[in-house]
Amino acid sequence: MRFRAGGVIIVCPCCQNDTFDKDYRQLNSRGATFFGLDWANRNAVLLTCRRCTHISWFMSEPQQDR
């Protein structure tokens, strides 16, 4: 899939590919983990390049480009 962030098409900084697989990861903090509040941590969006597998992290959801 192709994505946009800030109105710009995302391309891989390593190989210039423009197709990615999207996934999500939780950003754990020590304090929340210590108190058993992992569910309160923020999530990041990961885009993995389909060509070279470079991973780019985003704090805001990139828009899927059509």
| CATH number for position 16 | 2.20.25
Its pTM surpasses 0.85: no
DSSP annotation of 38 reads G
- The 10 Å Cβ neighbour count of residue 45 is 17
CB-count burial class (<10 Å; 0-12, 13-18, 19+) for 30: exposed
For residue 16, what pLDDT band results from cuts at 50, 70 and 90? very high
Say how many domains are in the chain: 1
**Which residue range forms the structural domain that includes residue 42?**
2-65
Please give the average per-residue pLDDT across 28-56, as a whole number. Answer: 79
